[in-house]
Structure 1
Amino acid sequence: MFYVALRILLYDKIRSLITLLGVVFAVGLIFNQLGIFLGLMETSSVIIDHTPGDIWVTSKNSKNFDFSQPFPEYIYNQTIADPEILSAEKLIVAWGIIRQKEGGTEQVEVVGFNPDTGVGGPWDMLAGDTRYLKNGNFAIVDESAMKRLGKIQVGEYRDVLFHRLQIVGISRGVKSFTTAPILFTSFELAQRLVTYMGSDSTVFVVAKIKPGASVDQVIARLQQRLKGVDVFTAADFSMKTRKYWAIETGVGFSFMLTIVISFLVGMLIVGQTIYNSTMEHIKEFGTLKALGASNSDIYRIIFSQAIINAMLGYIFSLIITVSTVKLYEAGGMVMVVRGWVNFLVLGLTLLMCLGAAFVSVRRIKSIDPAILFRG
């Protein structure tokens, strides 16, 4: 039956090619939208996911990583006092302004951390070292910032929040969901830069528990002891940040709508082609039934056409998607291509094409072998 289905598709090569292109377009758009959406979600929580720590203490009702509010530093002392906390670090995330060389300003996201431990700081350095941030007005910028800030070299100076900072390092892989360049400094310098915070405030406390301790139990104790803050596991705070950007901003709905439309367009293209092919070969199918073929035999032919279209369209779309990942990166975007994403899109592609074939299957049920003798 698979051979018969292939012969039917090859009978009209132009129509089959147009159908295949339609499937490639629809599946490619699904790959594109899923990949970019997942890339945006990973970007939104990239610092949380790369920061070594089991527990995040945040301001009360904090919705995401980028817009948390400061709280008193004594919360840090209360956190580290828990007997099952191995270590804890303070982290500042705030917004500021950087002055361009040619004039004008850009908004930046300032991340202040402890250079001695590196907790909350960059994890992949192209140039320099996080330890260079100590004891001075020094900063590290991510390479992705160069699209907004221009060419930046180690050793040059930039004015940030009316303070002159020297660039001592270039990091890699720290892209912000908000597209604002990220600037890393020491915790103490970040406190001085962000004047509204005061000299006794922090935005996060990131804690690591002792081996064998229960994260849930430690969180329960901290929630009872600490007032005016929230306590999350690293995974929960990462997911909370992603949900905020995906749901509350409408980004997730926009991507989902595009995926649904692509799915329906692909189903329409495949369904119309298979249906027209079925109608053109209606007498041949009647002949098969007259020779003893059952409806299920003919169903297999139709579904085989759908599977051929699905697999060819999927393979070509996957090749195109993988080959364009670098182009997205060059454009400053992140497109995620993962094994589970590929299997998900494969399932959607098969569902799309097999679902489209059901229209033709319903038509086959009513075929009467006597159609051979009609004019």
Structure 2
Amino acid sequence: MIFTIPIGWLQLVRQKVRFCVALTGITFIAVLMFIQLGFQDALYTSATQLHDNLQGDLFIISNQYQSLTLHQSFSRWYLYQILGVDDVESVSPLYMQFAKLKNSETGLKSPIYVLGIDPCDDSLKLSIAQEALSLLQLPNMVLFDRISRPGFGPIAEDFDQGKSVIVELFNYASSVGYKVKVAGLFSLGPSFGVDGNLIVSASTFFQIFTDRSGQNVDIGLIKLKPDANPQKVLTNITVKLPKDVIVITHQDFINLEKKYWQLRAPVGFVFQVMVIMVFIVGVVVVHQILYSNIASHLTEYATLKAMGFKNQYLLIAVFHQSLILAFFGYIPGFAISLGLYDVAKGATNLPINMSIDKASLVLTFITLMCFASGFICTNKLRNVDPADVF
């Protein structure tokens, strides 16, 4: 059996410098795609990481709800009504609002997201020491997110060293600070709209936000009995409640948040447009590479055509080149992106991670990009006439 080296490969490697330059261009496009998709995925993952860590089968929210970072509340009385529905085991209120935390070293005040919970309720999936949750029941105690961005000062470091950490919070509606003590740490992480997080008891929450009323709840967590049918219970609850609130499942709650960042938030639109633009730029770059290669070998192509080779053979040679460029350009792009993901994750504390889905998607994009460019370039080969060349 004789192994035949594809003509497309021979043409590409004949001019090694040009081949390396071509691969560099495709590698750059692959890296751009990985970066865009990485940050886009981090946007949705970070925006819904609190949702993922809420213990609830169903959730009740205001019908004006758009995003966690936007203030929407409803009457707490609705939670008491839900308790009367069959198969509902318990309900828990969740309070949320931005405050400003003063950096003890620089004096700068940075926005931080404050979550008010009942420490006795198992409303969060976060790994929090039982001792810290017990301390949270005391007045003026808080839990600090150790993955928060560094603008808040060395709070986590000081706490790990056994120091007594007291921080000062400021309500946006007041210039008077409120001092609280860090009772423990947890790991949640920032997002595109939140730099850091605090967990406090409901009583401490209303001491910080004196303008808030305990009668207004931001999110209601509904836990069902083990054998309950969530969809059936959801329907029963919806019938009992007025139209100013809605009840949704856990997954629908997550999807609602993603939809906001995809369609309403400007940053989501920008990421989608940038992915499309990178693809278009990639098509143009690969087209120029293939077109230049075809032009430099036009005599050889014309000779093959004069010898009786059909257009199909020549077109396959071009598509071979497209596939070779896609594959050998993707590999270094993937490797470089792994390093850039680590750098970006360390700098932003965002969940920027490589995944099989992301790697497969970029490989598909790169392959389609090269094939699209190859298809455009084949017009020149279809029309080439040996008589005109010679």
TM range (shorter): over 0.9
Residue 229 of structure 1: aligned partner = 245
In the alignment, which of 208, 226, 231 is matched to residue 216 of structure 1?
231
In the alignment, which of 32, 35, 41 is matched to residue 38 of structure 1?
41
In the alignment, which of 359, 365, 368 is matched to residue 342 of structure 1?
359
The offset of 1:180, in angstroms, is 3.1
In structure 1, C-alpha distance between the alignment counterparts of 2:69 and 2:85, rounded to whole Å: 27
Superposition map of 1:52-91 within 5 A: 52-91=55-94
In the alignment, which of 105, 111, 130 is matched to residue 107 of structure 1?
111
In structure 2, C-alpha distance between the alignment counterparts of 1:189 and 1:235, rounded to whole Å: 30
Contact 2:86 2:233 in 1 (8 A): no
Residue 123 of structure 2: aligned partner = 119
Summarize deviations over 1:39-64 as a string: whole Å, max 9, x none: 01111111111212121111231111
In structure 2, C-alpha distance between the alignment counterparts of 1:59 and 1:249, rounded to whole Å: 19
In structure 1, C-alpha distance between the alignment counterparts of 2:97 and 2:318, rounded to whole Å: 59
Summarize deviations over 1:169-216 as a string: whole Å, max 9, x none: 222233233133211112232133222222333211111222343322
Residue 292 of structure 2: aligned partner = 276
SS of 2:147's equivalent in the other structure is: helix
Stretches of structure 2 that go unaligned for 5 or more consecutive residues are: 171-176
SS of 1:197's equivalent in the other structure is: coil
CA pair 148-118 structure 1, distance change in 2 beyond 3 A: farther
In the alignment, which of 140, 159, 162 is matched to residue 168 of structure 2?
159
Residue 50 of structure 2: aligned partner = 47
Contact 1:127 1:170 in 2 (8 A): no
CA pair 113-350 structure 1, distance change in 2 beyond 3 A: same
Residue 381 of structure 2: aligned partner = 364
Residue 197 of structure 1: aligned partner = 212
The offset of 1:261, in angstroms, is 1.9
Aligned residues: 372
Contact 1:26 1:262 in 2 (8 A): yes
Residue identity opposite 1:321 in structure 2: S
The offset of 1:72, in angstroms, is 2.5
Residue 252 of structure 1: aligned partner = 268
Q: Does 1:243 align with 2:252?
A: no
Summarize deviations over 1:302-361 as a string: whole Å, max 9, x none: 001011111111111111112222211111133242211221111111110010011221
SS of 1:337's equivalent in the other structure is: coil
In structure 1, C-alpha distance between the alignment counterparts of 2:214 and 2:54, rounded to whole Å: 24
Higher mean alpha-carbon deviation, 268-277 vs 208-217, is at 208-217
Residue identity opposite 1:97 in structure 2: K
Contact 1:58 1:68 in 2 (8 A): no
In structure 1, C-alpha distance between the alignment counterparts of 2:71 and 2:58, rounded to whole Å: 16
In the alignment, which of 295, 307, 310 is matched to residue 291 of structure 1?
307
Residue 195 of structure 2: aligned partner = 180
Report sequence identity in percent. Answer: 23
Stretches of structure 1 that go unaligned for 5 or more consecutive residues are: none
Contact 1:127 1:169 in 2 (8 A): no
SS of 2:6's equivalent in the other structure is: helix
The offset of 1:8, in angstroms, is 0.6
Summarize deviations over 1:218-264 as a string: whole Å, max 9, x none: 22222221223221212112221222123212212211222122112
Contact 2:290 2:377 in 1 (8 A): yes
CA pair 4-245 structure 1, distance change in 2 beyond 3 A: same
Higher mean alpha-carbon deviation, 23-32 vs 154-163, is at 154-163
| TM-score (normalised: structure 1) | 0.92
Residue 174 of structure 2: aligned partner = none
CA RMSD, 1 decimal = 2.1
Moved over 6 A (4+): none
The offset of 1:98, in angstroms, is 2.1
In structure 1, C-alpha distance between the alignment counterparts of 2:19 and 2:39, rounded to whole Å: 30
SS of 2:143's equivalent in the other structure is: strand
In structure 2, C-alpha distance between the alignment counterparts of 1:195 and 1:2, rounded to whole Å: 77
| TM-score (normalised: structure 2) | 0.89
In structure 1, C-alpha distance between the alignment counterparts of 2:364 and 2:214, rounded to whole Å: 54
Q: Does 1:149 align with 2:164?
A: no
Summarize deviations over 1:263-302 as a string: whole Å, max 9, x none: 1221111111111111221121122223332211111110
